Structure 1
Amino acid sequence: MMKFLRRLTYWICLGIVAFALVTGCHTSNRTATPASSAQNCRVVQHTAGETCVPLNPQRIVALDILSLSNIVALGIKPIAAATWSSIEGKIDFPPHLANNIKGISLHSYATAQPNLEKILQLKPDLIILPSDPSSQSIYQQLSHIAPTVLVPWAEISRDWKQHLIETAKIFDKTDVATQLLDSYDQRVEEVKQSLGVLHTSLQKQAFYASFAYVSDRLTLAAKNSFSGTILNDLGLLSPKSSDGLALPISEESLPKIDSDVLFIGVYQESDRSTLKRLQRKPLWSKIKAVQQNQVYTVDFQTWYGFDFLSAHAVLDDIEKYLVNAP
């Protein structure tokens, strides 16, 4: 009998220890993301709490194109990136990113969540994505795979410049982000001067520009949109431009687009037929930019980019069509 009790006590104690280890690990995963010891990581505050980020992460996974672009702009190369696939079912990156993403494994997902199994197979040591409802819903699952940081997005009113700074904070590179934004401001001033000299030489008055895109309909980018902020920095955005992100334009309202220059992009290749249909409408010819032969087709993803590299690509287009054009 005593022998039986000793064995029973042994197995009970063993079970208690095992249970404590399992629940201890589980609790640890709920309160902090997996990481190295405190000496090898740095605590970063973010919208989902705090994460101990490795001091020198080597296997970074960015789960959206915005994070990917800004990480690359900071001089850091992730091993992989995931982004939404287009309606046509392919990964479609802006042309200006082509050289920057060489060697990075690209994955697309067409559901509400990225593929957690694929991410697990990548063995990341850091996962980064912008904060939005879908990201927050899978944060706990991602943080069990690797230290995960949600970079503020809606919380900073989709401010692309602030997003670059917030991304830089993860890597302790805010000084680099500041230098990048200073270089952007400097280039904006150079483009403004070039436009001013050009219009003085041509004896033209100040003009305004806007960006519109076509999906199932025509939408005019507003003051707080990505392209709107850049055009506003250049002094090209009309004072009549509405606040917010976008303004849908009906066919009857086409003549109300009173900008002297109109940059236009298509969301999907299939939307080009919608654009051609609009261009055949009699009211299309009433658009001021059309009458002045100042309508230029540009890449939608670039002009809708909300990231640092896209901002410079937008400036490239403005120089191409408004400064360097014959």
Structure 2
Amino acid sequence: MVSPHTLRTTGAIRRTRVALALGATLALAAGLTACAPEPTDPAANISASTDTVTITDNHGEIAVPVNPQRVVALDNTAFDTLAAWDVDLVAAPKGVMGSAWPGYTDDDAVLDIGTHREPNLEMIVAAEPDLIIGGYRFSDQYAEIKKQNPDATVIEIAPRDGEDQFAELKRQTEILGQIFDHEDEAAALNTQLDDAIADAKSNYPTGETVMAVNTSAGQIGYIAPGIGRSLGSIFGALDLTPALEVKNASNDHQGDDISVEAIADSNPDWIFALDRDASFAPAEREAGSAPANELIRDAEALAQVPAVTKQQIVILDPNFYLTEGIQAYTALFTNISEAFAAA
């Protein structure tokens, strides 16, 4: 896109040439110059002709520029989509992106906002964005980001608490398609998710019980059906039968404390596991870290549960904890469907 500065410079050169030509033919043009229209400011034309689309984000209706040139993105659930559509970023929170998006994290031109725990919001201001896509990890900074960037459009379109996770991911994808002029691709992503859910649901051995866990630092945590981070939402989507339901369970990203004996007593036919450490480099993992499949299969108390004896353990993609977007869930449902079908 040609910048307003370039247009103003070009316009100035043209006006100079016109002035010289008029000077050379002043006698002939004298009667016409009185009727000549005032020159138009090219920057004003650009501003007036910029396309916008009205979307409903997590805060209400808002007009958003179509194909904005300077984009800051904070939402990990949107990075796969933005990368697939070759959307350039001027700043991103590289501290929470791991190695999942090297096109952004390895690019020195993309300013580093850091992590949601210690964000460097000045990097957003320095990037001079047209559009800022907030993220749920940065929701506490939403008001401050808006205050610091009055000339930018700030939106939040990450899945909202209390809403259906997959309807929310489809809503997010549809909005991104409208903003970046990829509506057909967005529709295809949504269809792929629906198809993957339908296939997994069709292949589910009805009545077989499922336990969802996450692992980190050598410990196994319980992920509650319906509310637990990452895997909780799949129970409702697939009408899975939980192996264990715990009262007052949380949606904590670390999962709830649970003993391997409690897992064994629930006797699950299937175990789905999110390895929280797998998305980080070995040097960045917590002490005692071990792969999820080892923790589960090597646990003596779990040796006789059907999920282990029948090898019915589904381990999520190593980067799932970082991504959590529509592509990640589509791949997860595809893997679950294939595991169900092979059982």
TM-score by length of 2: 0.62
The C-alpha deviation readout for 1:147-200, integer Å capped at 9, x for no partner, is: 21122544554724314414533653796545533332223333445x36xx7x
Residue 272 of structure 1 pairs with residue 282 of structure 2: no
- 1:291 aligns with one of 309, 317, 334: 309
Residue 125 of structure 1 pairs with residue 130 of structure 2: yes
Alignment-derived partner of residue 320 in structure 2: 302
Paired AA for residue 130 in structure 2: D
Contact 1:43 1:51 in 2 (8 A): yes
SS, match of residue 58 in structure 1: coil
Query: Counterparts of 1:113-262 in structure 2 under 5 Å?
Result: 113-131=118-136, 133-144=139-150, 146-151=152-157, 153-157=159-163, 159-166=165-172, 168-169=174-175, 172=178, 176=184, 177-193=186-202, 195=203, 207-216=208-217, 217-224=219-226, 225=228, 226-238=230-242, 241=245, 245=251, 246-262=255-271
The C-alpha deviation readout for 1:94-152, integer Å capped at 9, x for no partner, is: 5xx67999979484623535323333443322110135642324232453362211225
Closer/same/farther in 2, CA of residues 315 and 179 from structure 1, 3 Å limit:
same
> 1:307: how far off?
1.8
1:250 and 1:319 map into 2 onto residues whose CA distance is 28
Paired AA for residue 67 in structure 2: N
SS, match of residue 185 in structure 1: helix
1:165 and 1:206 map into 2 onto residues whose CA distance is 31
1:129 and 1:158 map into 2 onto residues whose CA distance is 20
- 2:335 aligns with one of 302, 306, 317: 317
The C-alpha deviation readout for 1:282-323, integer Å capped at 9, x for no partner, is: 323254312333334433542685420111221343255444
> 1:264: how far off?
2.3
Alignment-derived partner of residue 77 in structure 2: 66
1:45 and 1:188 map into 2 onto residues whose CA distance is 26
Q: Identity percentage over the alignment?
A: 19
1:129 and 1:119 map into 2 onto residues whose CA distance is 11
Alignment-derived partner of residue 11 in structure 1: none
Query: Counterparts of 1:1-40 in structure 2 under 5 Å?
Result: 37=47, 39-40=49-50
SS, match of residue 77 in structure 2: helix
SS, match of residue 271 in structure 2: strand
SS, match of residue 68 in structure 2: coil
1:208 and 1:249 map into 2 onto residues whose CA distance is 17
> 1:257: how far off?
4.0
Considering only CA atoms, is the larger Rg found in Structure 1 or Structure 2? 2
Residue 77 of structure 1 pairs with residue 77 of structure 2: no
Paired AA for residue 225 in structure 2: K
Unmatched runs of 5 consecutive residues or more in structure 2: 1-45, 278-284
The C-alpha deviation readout for 1:233-259, integer Å capped at 9, x for no partner, is: 344443755686454312442313432
Closer/same/farther in 2, CA of residues 295 and 49 from structure 1, 3 Å limit:
closer
Measured on the aligned residues, the alpha-carbon RMSD in Å equals 4.1
TM-score by length of 1: 0.64
Q: How many residues align?
A: 275
